[in-house]
Structure formats: C-alpha cells, structure tokens
Amino acid sequence: MASRSRQRLDTLTQLIGPGLAANLKGVNAPYGTFDEARDLAARIAAEYGRVDHVVASVDGWWMGNALWDTSETEWQKYFIDTTTSHMALARAFIPRLAPDGSYTVIAGFSGHKPYPEVTGERIVLDTVDDLKRELGHEPLTTP
C-alpha cells in the first residue's frame, strides 16, 4: 500500500487490525509524477518481487464551487494533479503486473451522476473512468 502520508498508513493499519495488518505492506512515498510513480513501482518490485494486484485510490473529494467559480489553483490541484497521478501510477505499474494480476481504480460515485457544485469532481472522475477504459486497449511494454 503506497501513500504519501505515513499517518494515513498508520491509521489504516490500526483500522484493519493485526490479522490483516500482518499482510499489508505500507510504503510511504510520493507518486504524483511519472518519475515518482516509476520509482515507486521499481522500489516495490525490487523489494517484494512480483506485483499481483494494484488498487489505485488517488483522489479526494472536491466540492463547494460552481465550475465557473473554480480557481486555477483548485483546477490544478483537483483535476490536473489527480489525473496525472492516476496516469503515472497506471503507466508505472500495469507493465509490471503478473500475467494473472489486476489493476483496480477506486473512484467516487459522483462520476456517475451529476450533483450541484460537484461538477469539477465529476469531470475528474469521468476522465479517470475514460483512462481506465482506454488502458485495456493499449499494448503493453515492459519497464
């Protein structure tokens, strides 16, 4: 489990309890750029070997502004940074997956139904959903 926050890894470990925590491998590392995600994937493959399954749960929740009231800083943080992180992780990990491995993207429900003042989040989730669909049609190359 990769996280940019050691505290979140520790909280997750406490929440799932000792039985499941024994099987959880936590890695505190950045992954928001292509280089960071590549380094993370290489580190995990070197340390743990075969990559069986990846679960990408990157974005948070973005709500509160109408789309036309969204600042450029918010757009950068919630759209560009989030979609880049998803692309970077997919690009770094999918070629390293075992033949029977899986890559799962977790995204919120607002990507499937419009909600007031959540348009920005919906655009992010639609983009991530499109990325997920397209990944299945791309030829793989190994790192």
Q: Which residues contact 97 (CB under 8 A, 6 or more apart)?
A: 51, 52, 54, 103
Structure confidence at residue 88 (pLDDT): 95
User: Residue 141's closest CA among 105, 98, 96?
Assistant: 96
Q: Is it the case that residue 124 has pLDDT exceeding 90?
A: no
**pLDDT tens-digit series, residues 8-30:** 888 888 898 888 888 877 888 88
* CA atoms of 112 and 36, how far apart (whole Å): 30
Tally of helices (H runs) and strands (E runs) in the chain: 5, 4
Structure confidence at residue 37 (pLDDT): 96
Structure confidence at residue 34 (pLDDT): 97
Give the distance from CA 3 to its chain's centroid.
10
Q: Which CATH number among 1.10.3720.10, 3.90.1260.10, 3.40.50.720, 3.40.50.1100 corresponds to the domain 31-135? A: 3.40.50.720
Burial class (CB within 10 angstroms; exposed 0-12, middle 13-18, buried 19+) of 46: exposed
Q: Is it the case that residue 89 has pLDDT exceeding 90?
A: yes
Average pLDDT of the residues in 75-102: 90
pTM of the full predicted structure?
0.83
Asked if 31 contacts 23 with a C-beta cutoff of 8 angstroms, the reply is: no
Length of the chain: 143
Asked if 47 contacts 5 with a C-beta cutoff of 8 angstroms, the reply is: no
Q: Is it the case that residue 35 has pLDDT exceeding 90?
A: yes
